[in-house]
Homo-oligomer: A and B are copies of this chain.
Amino acid sequence: MLSTQTSDSRVEANSTLHATSTEAGWQRQGKLWSNLKELCDVLRIPSAAIHTDEELLFQHVQFKTGQRIHTIGQPFDTLYIVHSGFLKTVLIDEFGNEQVLSFPMKGDLFGVDGIHTKRYASEAVALSNCDLILLPFKKLTALGRAHVEFEHAMYSVMSRELVREQAMVSMLGALSAEARVARFLVNLSERYAEMGYSSKLFNLRMTRHEIGSYLGLTLETVSRTLSAFNEIGLISVDQRSIGIKDLDSLKTLRRLPPSSSRAKQVASRKAKQLAQQERPEGEWGQVAGV
């Protein structure tokens, strides 16, 4: 099983470049520079039309677990692209409470919120050792003028971020706690798959508290929900280790419809063998599974 330990930069099979740093490249000095094509590849931007003879290079920078990449109010001048590793971005309210906004990982762009006010509106913290590509905003705008495709791509990436935020708003506004946790797991699974890791077995990089903050729940509710999913066979849980057992049920898990359907706690407790549903679409899907 792919232990989701410190990120392994060799997972990128598409890139033909020689692996500069062998593995665990972050701590030595990691990769130091990327060219434009590599940058586009990481961002999942079609780099076909990019002039590969471009001289432009983009600096990398490494952060260790717990380090802060930028803080709220700090003057903005560069965007960050995750080359490897895991992070969180948080808002901090007037009482010092953290509100997790996102969990950037490979291919994700962050820092965009700083463009408007020229100061970062959020704080980014490394949840693991990270290798980030620096994308100075000035260089970005210059690139946009030089390469039409790149300009379009940057708009596209920012649009993608906006759509993602919209999905978050929709989720927070309409879904039950169980549905939120289920979607969170499915989302994580898909992102791991995109990154070349196992989508069925992975380790969470964040605490229950951070998950709860991200989903608008308390850490206890997150823990309970994971335990419930474990009991009914949707997943297996052991601390940070998550095994996806029944992806379809997780995907179709919605807000528990009105009241007629069986209580969820009953299902989790004793409904291990009553896996029948007479409805065309049991909102809980196949419970039995294994």
Contact = CB atoms under 8 A, between A and B. Distances in A.
A122 interface: yes
26 contacts: A91-B170, A93-B170, A93-B174, A99-B174, A112-B158, A112-B159, A112-B162, A113-B159, A113-B163, A116-B156, A116-B157, A121-B163, A121-B166, A141-B151, A141-B155, A144-B145, A145-B148, A151-B151, A155-B158, A162-B162, A162-B165, A172-B172, A172-B216, A173-B213, A173-B214, A173-B216
A155 B145 CA distance: 13
A231 interface: no
Contact of A159 (B114, B148, B157, B214): B114
Interface string A74-110: 0000000000000000010100010101000000000
A261 B146 CA distance: 56
A166 to B, nearest CB: 6
- Give the number of times this chain occurs in the complex, counting copies: 2
A20 B71 CA distance: 47
B169 A158 contact: no
A151 B115 CA distance: 12
